[in-house]
């Protein structure tokens, strides 16, 4: 059997020091739960003077989950992005990526599972906390669904639910080979408008520190994800400022990402995060590989 062609490791676009980032690698389209077509997003990126745009459709192969790419359309998705990549090659770099879910026992962000699509990079994500009996509690769907899930599957214990979330996340990070870790503390999404836990509680800080250790040891890139800002849930990125500080202390590399679900939001809060925080400027925050 012929071995498939080796691809170079994913190298995010590294901007000149102290310049606004002109790239986004976390982008959704009508292939999953985004509002606009991939081509409309590319036109927006070109209009904004972007150097690169990467598409990252939600996937959980072989599962079919509403709002995610239908596994039967995987090759079609890959073909369209490659077609657009060639078509716009003289104006912008286009990358084919995936935001692959980790649902223990069902799906994981592992390259062998998606080799037919031959993606340029993979983002690993936890959107469902899976219980011992295989039930799924949706992390970021609605506050109501989250609270019902914690009541039904964690006996109402928010601490047990959040510890299970981080355990699953650490398992994903340490077990599978992918490039970027998505929205590390997604469990914060509802915690401003519908507060349900104390982010300064010692047990929570322990989970965060332990997770920072595991992420640092993995060598994976962490995204500073502004998606909850564009959707009005939070006024800060994932992960939180204290979490970012712990990661930075451990030498973790960051990538700024909009987790965009529309052509207009591919640079949400970029100005703020690429200039306001010293460590998010220029070469240092993207790092090199
Ligand atoms: Zn996500
Ligand atoms: Zn996403």
Please indicate, yes or no, if residue 74 is contained in any of the structural domains.
Answer: yes
For residue 4, tell me if it sits in a domain: no
Domain that holds residue 67: 23-286
The residues pairing with 174 across neighbouring beta strands, listed in sequence order, are: none
Domains: count for the chain: 1
* 277 Cα: distance to centroid of ligand 2 (angstroms): 23
Note residues around ion ligand 1 (Cβ under 5 angstroms).
125, 182
Which one-letter DSSP state was computed for residue 41?
H
Quote the pLDDT of residue 7.
55
Phi and psi at 219, nearest 5°, equal 75, 5
What pLDDT shows up at residue 289?
30
Residue 12 in any domain: the answer is: no
Contacts of 181 (CB under 8 A, 6+ apart): 123, 124, 169, 173, 215, 220, 221, 222, 223
CATH number of residue 166's parent domain: 3.20.20.140
Q: Is residue 44 part of a domain?
A: yes
Q: Is residue 98 domain-resident?
A: yes
pLDDT tens per residue across all 289 residues of the chain: 344 445 556 666 555 555 666 889 999 999 999 999 999 999 999 999 988 899 999 999 999 999 999 999 999 999 999 999 999 999 999 999 999 999 999 999 999 999 999 999 999 999 999 998 899 999 999 999 999 999 999 999 999 999 999 999 999 999 999 999 999 999 999 999 999 999 999 999 999 999 999 999 999 989 999 999 988 999 999 999 999 999 989 988 888 889 999 999 998 888 787 765 654 544 333 333 3
Using only C-alpha atoms, the chain has a radius of gyration, in whole angstroms, of: 18
Find where tokens 């990538």 sit: 255
The answer as to whether 257 is a domain residue is yes
Q: How far is the CA of 2 from the centre of ligand 2 (A)?
A: 34
Structure tokens at 240: 């939180």
First to last CA, the chain: 31
pLDDT digits (tens, 9 = 90+) for 248-277: 899 888 888 899 999 999 988 887 877 656
| CA of 85 relative to ligand 2 center, distance in Å | 20
Q: How is residue 16 annotated by DSSP? A: P
Give the single-character DSSP code of 239. S
Distance in Å, CA 127 to ligand 2 centroid: 10
How far apart, in Å, are the Cα atoms of 32 and each of 46, 58, 106, 142? 22, 6, 19, 18
Structure confidence by residue, pLDDT tens digits, 133-164 = 899 999 999 999 999 999 999 999 999 999 99
Pairwise CA distance, residues 74 & 229, whole Å: 29
29 Cα: distance to centroid of ligand 2 (angstroms) = 10
Distance 7 CA to ligand 1 centre (A): 25
Rounded-to-integer distance, Cα 141 and Cα 128, Å: 9
What's the predicted TM-score (pTM) here?
A: 0.92
């Amino acid at each position: 059997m012929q071995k498939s062609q080796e691809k170079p490791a994913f190298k995010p676009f590294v901007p000149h020091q102290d310049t606004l980032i002109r790239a986004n690698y976390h982008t959704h389209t009508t292939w999953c739960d985004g509002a606009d077509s991939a081509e409309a997003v590319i036109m927006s990126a070109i209009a904004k003077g972007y150097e690169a745009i990467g598409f990252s459709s939600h996937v959980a192969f072989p599962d079919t989950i509403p709002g995610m790419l239908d596994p039967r359309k995987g090759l079609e998705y890959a073909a369209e992005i490659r077609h657009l990549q060639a078509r716009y090659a003289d104006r912008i770099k286009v990358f084919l990526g995936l935001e692959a879910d980790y649902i223990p026992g069902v799906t994981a962000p592992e390259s062998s599972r998606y080799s037919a699509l031959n993606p340029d990079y993979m983002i690993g994500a936890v959107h469902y906390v899976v219980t011992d009996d295989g039930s799924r509690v949706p992390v970021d769907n609605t506050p109501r669904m989250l609270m019902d899930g914690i009541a039904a599957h964690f006996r109402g214990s928010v601490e047990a639910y959040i510890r299970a979330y981080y355990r699953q996340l650490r398992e994903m990070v340490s077990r599978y080979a992918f490039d970027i870790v998505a929205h590390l503390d997604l469990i914060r999404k509802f915690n401003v408008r519908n507060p349900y836990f104390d982010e300064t509680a010692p047990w929570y800080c322990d989970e965060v520190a332990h997770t920072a250790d595991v992420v640092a040891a993995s060598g994976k890139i962490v995204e500073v994800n502004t998606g909850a800002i564009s959707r009005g849930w939070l006024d800060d990125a994932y992960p939180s400022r204290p979490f970012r500080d712990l990661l930075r202390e451990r030498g973790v590399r960051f990538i700024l990402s909009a987790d965009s679900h529309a052509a207009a939001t591919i640079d949400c809060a970029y100005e703020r995060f690429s200039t306001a925080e010293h460590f998010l400027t220029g070469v240092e925050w993207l790092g090199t590989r």
